[in-house]
Amino acid sequence: MNKLLVAKIVLHLQSVIFSLFLFNFHVLGAELVGRAILNADTFAPGSTSGQFKQTNRTTPFTQAQPVQGFSGVIPGPKPGTYLVISDNGFGAKSNSPDYLLRIYGVEPDFATGKVFPVDVQTGERLPRFNRRSFLELNDRNRQLQWSIMGDRQFYPNSQIPVPKTIRTSRLLTGGDFDLESFQRVSDGSYWVGDEFGPFLLHFGANGELLSAPIALPNFLNLGKLNFVKSPDHPSLEKLSSRAAQVRAANLGGSRGFEGMALNRSGSKLYVMLEGALKDEPQKKRLLIHEFDLVSKKYTGKIFSYQLENQGYAIGELTAINDRELIVIERDSRQGDPQNPGFQTPAKFKRIYKIDISKIDKDGFIAKELLVDLLNIPDPKCISGNSRANCKFTFPFVTIESVLPIDSQTLLVINDNNYGDSMGRTPKRIDNTEFIAIKLKKPLSVEPLGKSQ
């Protein structure tokens, strides 16, 4: 082997080692600085729920429903408090018609490690989840153009009556929508991303639907449909079977608006599909659509996000400023890789920063790793991990909420899929965990109402 070749090999190895060092240094710059837990068996008052859910818990839940299942987070009415949105309830349209769709007020107390309910309007801490702790979403103004649970005398395929409270106030349930993302705008109203349509929904400050759901046009003309439709789209409801609905749709089930970001100017929403369209030739590409809040229409501007693996999905999208956003990307596995009790543990749970002003040669948004959620240093052993290295993992199947608390701290929350997910401890249902992660490198966070 000649000296020139040896020198080249040495230089290459040095380059690889240096790159690995930089990669690990960057990831290790994210540190666990807080953790608070909301017990899975936390309930709020409501109509009886869980009547169509098969679970290892005793059902139904009489005059109550589990708080669980958070799929989005935004700042709350007071510093240190947050508003979180629950998804459709029990995981499917068919088993969640009695689960009421709500926005809850919460306060993770990292000093005590507990999560407290707060008044959804004032942020005042409450002794328990009660009717002051949530906002119920409804269609009392009759904006929907199709039938909902509140129009029925009985729940589907049953003789169980729909409660009068749901029918009178036309309260929306998990049989109507699957809510996975949301933002609050300057007038106090809420924009919510749904997966059943997928639809954009606009709710007033008191939870009332303000206008008809906004469908997503098929701007790229992928396939034959003019709009993007999941198998749960209302227009496909009367097809003969579930298989027929799946065939007619151009988007997979539970692949709708998983992420929604509000730019710091407060003028645009960026909504992100969780999965690729069926006719998408680039299977690792997810679409982010721009929506104008003044005209209340899609602008037609689309950004392409590239997954690390075709089988992965995103869990959330949130804004840092008018150019940069944060994305959670994850696999569909659960469980700590270091725990032998998990036979197929999680392998990929990460948070990336993306910049929509930077597009690579293949048309994808620039992407930078912020946090490896399966490798979070915990030097103060906040997690109670007895191992010498005190490494913390966030190994849940669905991690669906992230919010910059400040320029260096991220709040991250899992969706515990009440009764179904068991990612923390084998054979034990997950709690909802709120964690605070401090980044070594500050983000360029802009307050709402300002832009760069």
Q: Please indicate, yes or no, if residue 59 is contained in any of the structural domains.
A: yes
Cβ atoms of 94 and 167 within 8 Å: the answer is no
CA angle 411, 56, 165 (to 5 degrees): 75
Residue 157 in any domain: the answer is yes
| CA–CA dist 88, 71 (Å, integer) | 10
Phi then psi for residue 109, to 5 deg, are -105, 100
β-bridge partners, 365: 359
Could you tell me which residues come within 8 angstroms of residue 8 by beta carbon, excluding any fewer than 6 positions away? none
20 in any annotated domain: no
> Which residues lie across from 191 on neighbouring strands?
183, 202
3-state secondary structure 317-343: EEECCCCEEEEEEECCCCCCCCCCCCC
Would residue 17 count as lying in a domain? no
Residues 25, 19: Cα–Cα separation, whole Å:
10
Q: In what order do the strands lie in the sheet with 190-194?
A: 179-184, 190-194, 199-203, 214-215
Task: Confirm whether 15 is domain-assigned.
Answer: no
What is the rounded end-to-end Cα distance, in angstroms, of the chain? 55
Asked if residue 450 belongs to a domain, the reply is no
**Looking at residue 124, which CATH number applies to its domain?**
2.120.10
Tell me which residue range forms the domain holding 239: 30-438
Measured between alpha carbons, how far is 364 from 222 in angstroms, rounded to an integer?
A: 18
Domain annotation covers residue 451: no
Q: Is residue 91 part of a domain?
A: yes
Instruction: For residue 363, give the DSSP letter.
Output: S
Query: Does 60 sit behind a cis peptide bond, omega within 30 degrees of 0 on the bond before it?
Result: yes
Number of domains in the chain: 1
Q: Tokens at residue 289, please?
A: 């659509």
Ordered per-residue pLDDT tens for the chain, 452 residues: 555 444 444 444 444 443 443 444 444 479 999 999 999 999 999 999 999 998 888 999 999 999 988 999 999 999 999 999 999 999 999 999 999 999 999 999 999 999 999 999 999 999 999 999 999 999 999 999 999 999 999 999 999 999 999 999 999 999 999 999 999 999 999 999 999 999 999 999 999 999 999 999 999 999 999 999 999 999 999 999 999 999 999 999 999 999 999 999 999 999 999 999 999 999 999 999 999 999 999 999 999 999 999 999 999 999 999 999 999 999 999 999 989 999 999 999 999 999 999 999 999 999 999 999 999 999 989 987 655 568 899 999 999 999 999 999 999 999 999 989 999 999 999 999 999 999 999 999 998 875 44
